[in-house]
Amino acid sequence: MAEVKELIRSEEGGAISFGNYKLNAKAKLEDFKHGGDLLKVKTFREITKLEKNGAFLYESVPGTSVLNFTEKSDGVQFQVEGDEDAQITIGLMDESDYEVFVDGESIGIMNTGLGGKVSLSVELAAADQVDVKIVKQ
């Protein structure tokens, strides 16, 4: 398992990695500059949250580590790790349809509604890492 010890970091190709689900106490890092944006991460074993320019982008309960998070105009993709199964919420465009893939398998098309959010569950307890891809339809 590869928790992100520095809480958030830039990766090659414009991706970011963030979150440390091994922490027993809350930790946060604000004003992390990446690609012209300001990111804020809060993380520990119970929750991981990411904001971009003050807006919601990612949340998991319990906490997770997110690797190679890439955000594009047609969606997001990343790998997620954790000790327990997790509920993940991603901030996307309002009132849009997105197809969600977990480990390469479609789990269906979801509508974001007025809040612009997609929620999904991932089974992490038995996996080293789970690939998630969310594509705008």
Domains of the chain: 8-136 (2.60.220)
Predicted confidence band of residue 106 (pLDDT cuts 50, 70, 90): very high
pTM of the model: 0.94
- Please check whether residue 17 is in contact with residue 9, taking contact to mean a CB–CB distance below 8 angstroms: yes
Residue 2 pLDDT greater than 90, yes or no: no
Average pLDDT of span 96-122 = 96
Coil/strand/helix, residue 94: coil
Measured distance CA(133)–CA(6) in Å, rounded: 24
3 contact partners, CB below 8 Å, separation of at least 6: 19, 20, 21, 22, 65, 81
Give the bridge partners for 10, in sequence order. 16
- Mean of the pLDDT values across residues 106-134? 93
Residue type, 101: F
What is the arithmetic mean of pLDDT over 42-58?
A: 97
